[in-house]
């Protein structure tokens, strides 16, 4: 943990919709106060609700904070790329029974958005690189 930032290192639990919104607001800014997060949210709750939720995110290990005069400045406890991997792992676990195959199948068979040939080619390249790493 970087000097000056405080946070709880408990095992993170899954996030509620509002927790994800608040965490995303902090990640996008790299660091933020409660007021700055409020500015970022559509249909924001009260100041105290955001402050409480940010405290919960600290307890869950997603945010760290430091005191800057009278205000608290929060930042992600981990890099955005690591947060994305953890979030995706949670989605795969909860919605696809832990199966990456089911996730990919859903993405490829989804009627909501057709993948372009270029995207499919890049996905095939990613799969091929993963195969090479395994051998």
CATH code of the domain covering residue 54: 1.10.10.10
- 73 shares its domain with 100: no
What was the pLDDT predicted at 90? 84
What was the pLDDT predicted at 12? 43
Q: Which residues contact 64 (CB under 8 A, 6 or more apart)?
A: 1, 2, 5, 6, 7, 58, 74, 75, 76, 77
In a domain, 23, yes or no: yes
What was the pLDDT predicted at 119? 87
Q: What is the pLDDT of residues 65-119, one digit of tens each?
A: 999 999 999 999 998 888 888 878 888 988 899 998 998 888 888 666 677 888 8
Domain containing 101 equals 96-134
Rounded CA-CA distance 75/52 in Å is 15
- 53 shares its domain with 28: yes
In a domain, 84, yes or no: no
In a domain, 5, yes or no: no
What was the pLDDT predicted at 85? 87
- 106 shares its domain with 74: no
In a domain, 90, yes or no: no
Residue 4 three-state SS = coil
In a domain, 67, yes or no: yes
In a domain, 87, yes or no: no
């Amino acid at each position: 943990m970087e000097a000056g930032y405080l946070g709880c290192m408990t095992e993170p639990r899954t996030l509620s919709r509002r927790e994800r919104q608040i965490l995303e607001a902090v990640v996008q800014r790299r660091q933020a106060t409660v007021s700055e997060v409020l500015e970022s949210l559509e249909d924001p709750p009260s100041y105290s609700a955001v402050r409480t939720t940010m405290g919960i995110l600290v307890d869950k290990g997603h945010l760290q904070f430091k005191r800057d005069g009278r205000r608290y400045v929060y930042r992600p406890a981990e890099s955005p790329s690591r947060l994305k991997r953890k979030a995706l792992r949670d989605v795969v676990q909860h919605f696809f029974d832990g199966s990456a195959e089911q996730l990919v199948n859903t993405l490829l068979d989804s009627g909501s958005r057709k993948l372009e040939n270029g995207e499919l080619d890049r996905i095939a390249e990613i799969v091929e690189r993963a195969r090479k790493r395994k051998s």
